Amino acid sequence: MPKPNLRLTPQRKIILEELRGTRTHPTADEVYDLVRKRLSHVSLGTIYRNLEFLHSQGLIRKLDKIGPQMRFDAFVDPHLHVCCVECGKVGDLPPDAASVVMRRDPALEAESEFRITGHWLELYGICADCVTAREEG
């Protein structure tokens, strides 16, 4: 949940706009490349600090369990991710892909004897680009 009286600087606004304009779940370096097209003077350190700030305010998600580098997602609504095992591309899945987990079904809590406060479900596969490359090569 975003915090009240949030100060969005021009850099933060542009970072957020760039993240909301893509579904590729970019790394900090990729965010830097996107933002530099609009703010040529921005530093990589500024990108890292602002990504951390936006995450702390609940405006973006960190995807730290997908691949070797941290990725970022501006879509904070409940959804799952899938990662290509060949190229590392990350895609979104709809919430109903794991509806029992996403609904926090009381039966799941009763069965596990845990109050479920969050989840992490890892899904891996091969993206369409890599499937095509395999078939052509």
Angle between helices 44-56 and 10-20 (to 10 degrees): 80
Give the separation between CA 30 and CA 3, rounded to whole angstroms: 26
Statement: 10-73 belongs to CATH 1.10.10.10: yes
Q: Which two tokens stand for residue 18?
A: 């760039």
Kindly report the pTM of this predicted structure.
Answer: 0.73
**What is the predicted pLDDT for the residue at 35?**
98
For domain 80-136, give the fold.
Dna Ligase; domain 1 (3.30.1490)
Element at 37 (helix H, strand E): none
What SS3 state is found at 89?
A: coil
Does residue 58 carry a pLDDT above 70?
yes
Look at residue 105 in the predicted model and tell me its pLDDT: 67
